Structure 1
């Protein structure tokens, strides 16, 4: 049986996006620490997400604030009928209680 630490269901891009959705003013250093990647990797991922249009960056003083374009579709052909906002909402919603089926 594979060790659960060897892989995860979500990519680093998804984890970075989740951090930003939870805290639109999060610092790259904090995002990198939460995701378990370098600050440079977090910076590249943020640039990818901004370039693809999923995030909009706005400067507020010395910090950036990010806004999710929730209406955009996921990138993989199998998932193009799902908006990124739907996925984020599912991942940040309160967990199902023990009595609720999946």
Structure 2
């Protein structure tokens, strides 16, 4: 997982649910504490968000010993009527492309 983003105040375009889902999609074995640090949330807030995402069918998890492996339900449709027809995989694809472009931007030039 990449380093945690810089702190931010004020409103943002992405919800905490989208950030948590994106972090899990990028690393399915990520720990709650690592998601919390990356998303700048409390562990309790991340636990609630993960619970919300599981309850509504966006995410499942498998317990392995003391850790979880998450699975994002890519075909699940986004909840808001304005995004009718868009799936979780559509959203995550946009975020993944953005992350890939920024990794390339930060790569040392040869």
> TM-score normalized by structure 2?
0.80
Question: Which residue number corresponds to residue 49 of structure 2?
Answer: 45
Question: Which residue number corresponds to residue 34 of structure 2?
Answer: 30
Deviation (angstroms), 1:7: 1.3
Take 1:95 and 1:77, find their aligned partners in 2: how far apart are those partners?
Answer: 29
Q: How many residues align?
A: 95
Segments of structure 1 that go 5 or more residues without pairing to the other structure are none
Question: Which residue number corresponds to residue 15 of structure 1?
Answer: 19
Take 1:80 and 1:16, find their aligned partners in 2: how far apart are those partners?
Answer: 21
Question: Which residue number corresponds to residue 101 of structure 2?
Answer: 95
Question: Which residue number corresponds to residue 54 of structure 1?
Answer: 58
1:67-101 CA-partner distances (Å, limit 9, x unpaired): 01100100000102101111101101222889xxx
- Runs ≥4 residues deviating over 4 A: none
